[in-house]
């Protein structure tokens, strides 16, 4: 385990909000609801470790249903006409 602290390794709520394209308020709500990526409170400031964010995104990955795949396929066919 690498314990070296790298300031560029941590994101603020604002930075993560911009990266994920979701409002900062959603991240605050996730923290209160204990969902979303792990977070750290460093001297009163919330920070997200980039590796925790990557793990959260990986764990949140979903395989599309057959129906969603077929609908996407139909849309792409109709747009080609």
Q: Which residue has the higher pLDDT, 11 or 65?
A: 11
In a domain, 2, yes or no: no
In a domain, 1, yes or no: no
The confidence score (pLDDT) of residue 20 equals 95
In a domain, 3, yes or no: no
In a domain, 20, yes or no: yes
Q: 28-81, pLDDT tens digit by residue?
A: 999 999 999 999 998 999 999 999 999 999 998 877 777 777 777 676 665 665
> Quick one: CA torsion of 60, 37, 48, 63, rounded to 10 degrees?
0
DSSP state of 22: S
Q: Does the pTM of the predicted model rise above 0.75?
A: no
In a domain, 41, yes or no: yes
Q: Which residue has the higher pLDDT, 71 or 8?
A: 8
CATH of the domain at 39: 1.10.1660
* Cα-only R_g, the chain: 18
Structural domain tally of the chain?
A: 1
In a domain, 25, yes or no: yes
Residue ranges making up the domain that contains 15: 8-80
- Cα angle 73, 74, 79 (rounded to 5 degrees) comes to 100
Q: Which residue, 26, 20, 21, 29, is CA-closest to 54? A: 20
Averaged over 8-23, what is the pLDDT? 95
């Amino acid at each position: 385990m690498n314990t070296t602290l790298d300031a560029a390794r941590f994101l603020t709520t604002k930075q993560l909000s911009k990266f994920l394209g979701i409002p900062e308020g959603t991240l605050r709500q996730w923290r209160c609801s204990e969902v979303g990526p792990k977070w750290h409170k460093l001297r009163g400031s919330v920070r997200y470790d980039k590796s925790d964010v990557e793990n959260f995104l990986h764990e949140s990955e979903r395989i599309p249903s057959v129906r969603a795949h077929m609908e996407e396929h139909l849309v792409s066919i109709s747009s080609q006409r």
